[in-house]
Amino acid sequence: MTVLDDRITNGPDGYAGVVADEQWAAEVRRLADLRGATLLAHNYQLPAIQDVADHIGDSLALSRIAAAAPEDTIVFCGVHFMAETAKILSPDKTVLIPDQRAGCSLADSITAADLRAWKAEYPDAVVVSYVNTTAAVKAETDICCTSSNAVEVVASIPEDRDVLFCPDQFLGNHVRRVTGRKNLHVWAGECHVHAGINGDELADKALAHPDAELYVHPECGCATSALYLAGEGAFPQDRVKILSTGGMLDEARETRARQVLVATEVGMLHQLRRAAPGVDFQAVNDRASCKFMKMITPAALLRCLSEGADEVHVDPEIAERARASVQRMIEIGTPGGGE
Ligand code: SF4
């Protein structure tokens, strides 16, 4: 129980009714200690959730932190497939997500049944899936990938084998362009957030801010269109930096640019402004906000810690097959993205 319980409301857009003030933060920390839980927050979480967490990072880095953490309970402030990935890598731990309705339009663009039907058309193909997929899709996958290692993963597959790449069409097309591979088939999935980051917008921003650098952090799928468009020349190449979360924060601390445009979900700006307060960070598109990420509200986190819900379950047989696809990726090369 928490002293703030009676203020929490639940509606179709999620849990509400609690202000993220000092009393809230103290209550969150008290309940986390009581439960013996570690709090993980994705970079795209609300600033208050990031500030109260033990660790902040991208989905794979957080899953690995979850596996290494001494605590038996993990509270994953992010979307559902990310909490599932943490469970896959830490099957003996209790993994909680503050609101299990926090989905992902990219992960939802392919189901395990869709993938099985696609595989039936190309029975000898190797399946490569971006980490933004459900556990059931990972279980049907040969090798997972992140945006940092997708090219390396595909290059490790013999030239004469067909490759099925899902679910992100921008990342898939970027990999096809870089590898020159004709037998790479790409699923037509996308994240609704990156729909707002288009070529015209990038070119206009480059003209309007001639001294600015452009940071692209495509780990979540929301900026894979920027990754693709930067490769097409929509922004001057010498000013584009494609970076993992950790690389982006390091670059921000070192940069001589007075202004940096950021092509990713707007939650990342909070970490960047904290790391380099003297730099003017601006979103390429300030509407690029993920409504699913923002379902992890202060009220949802409090309810989660108070009630021990929502718990994430993955069928052990699916988890084992999904884990194998993640392990194969790790054996091939750096997954990239850390804090
Ligand atoms: S930003 Fe896009 S890819 Fe990331 S969780 Fe939201 S919908 Fe999914």
Going from the C-alpha of 96 to that of each of 14, 102, 183, 241, the distances in angstroms are 16, 12, 40, 35
Provide the pLDDT for residue 249. Answer: 87
The residue nearest atom 3 of ligand 1, judged by CA position, is: 221
* Percent with pLDDT over 90 in the chain: 67
Specify whether the CB–CB gap between 203 and 249 falls below 8 A: no
What distance in angstroms lies between residue 3's CA and the mean position of ligand 1's atoms?
33
Provide the pLDDT for residue 243. Answer: 82
Provide the pLDDT for residue 239. Answer: 87
The residue nearest atom 6 of ligand 1, judged by CA position, is: 290
Lowest mean pLDDT among 27-36, 227-236, 261-270: 227-236
Calpha distance 95→79 (Å, rounded)? 13
What distance in angstroms lies between residue 34's CA and the mean position of ligand 1's atoms?
31
- To the question of whether residue 109 is assigned a binding role by annotation, the answer is no
Q: Is the pLDDT of residue 222 over 50?
A: yes
Pairing status of strand 9-11 against strand 14-16: antiparallel
Lowest mean pLDDT among 62-71, 107-116, 216-225: 216-225
Q: Who's near 180: CB < 8 A, 6+ residues apart?
A: none
- To the question of whether residue 290 is assigned a binding role by annotation, the answer is yes
Beta strands in 135-266 (DSSP E): 143-145, 163-166, 184-186, 213-216, 240-242, 259-263
What distance in angstroms lies between residue 106's CA and the mean position of ligand 1's atoms?
6
The residue nearest atom 4 of ligand 1, judged by CA position, is: 220
Calpha distance 80→107 (Å, rounded)? 9
Average confidence (pLDDT) over 250-268: 91
Average pLDDT, the chain: 91
What distance in angstroms lies between residue 267's CA and the mean position of ligand 1's atoms?
12
Provide the pLDDT for residue 235. Answer: 83
- To the question of whether residue 191 is assigned a binding role by annotation, the answer is yes
- To the question of whether residue 331 is assigned a binding role by annotation, the answer is no
What distance in angstroms lies between residue 236's CA and the mean position of ligand 1's atoms?
26
- To the question of whether residue 131 is assigned a binding role by annotation, the answer is yes
pLDDT band at 196, cuts 50/70/90? low
Specify whether the CB–CB gap between 332 and 142 falls below 8 A: no
Calpha distance 338→56 (Å, rounded)? 9
150-178: per-residue pLDDT in tens? 999 999 999 999 999 999 998 999 899 99
Helix (H) / strand (E) element for 11: namely: strand 9-11
Does the Cβ of 65 fall within 6 Å of ligand 1?
no
Closest Cα to residue 145, out of 179, 122, 118, 113? 179
Q: Which atom of ligand 1 is nearest to the CA of 265?
A: 1
What is residue 224's three-state secondary structure?
helix
What is residue 227's three-state secondary structure?
helix
What distance in angstroms lies between residue 191's CA and the mean position of ligand 1's atoms?
6
What distance in angstroms lies between residue 220's CA and the mean position of ligand 1's atoms?
6
pLDDT band at 6, cuts 50/70/90? confident
Average confidence (pLDDT) over 224-239: 83
Q: Who's near 243: CB < 8 A, 6+ residues apart?
A: 215, 216, 217, 251
- To the question of whether residue 270 is assigned a binding role by annotation, the answer is no
Provide the pLDDT for residue 339. Answer: 27
For each of the domains in the chain, give its residue range(s) and CATH number, in order of start: 5-103+292-314 (3.40.50.10800), 107-190 (3.40.50.10800), 193-283 (3.40.50.10800)
- To the question of whether residue 245 is assigned a binding role by annotation, the answer is yes
Does the Cβ of 290 fall within 6 Å of ligand 1?
yes
Most confident of 112-121, 252-261, 270-279, 283-292: 112-121
pTM: 0.90
Q: Which atom of ligand 1 is nearest to the CA of 291?
A: 6
Specify whether the CB–CB gap between 62 and 53 falls below 8 A: no
What distance in angstroms lies between residue 287's CA and the mean position of ligand 1's atoms?
13
Question: In a mutational test of the pocket of ligand 1, which residue from 77, 85, 132, 217 has the highest number of ligand atoms less than 8 Å from its CB?
Answer: 132
- To the question of whether residue 218 is assigned a binding role by annotation, the answer is yes
Report which of residues 203 and 179 the model is more confident about: 179
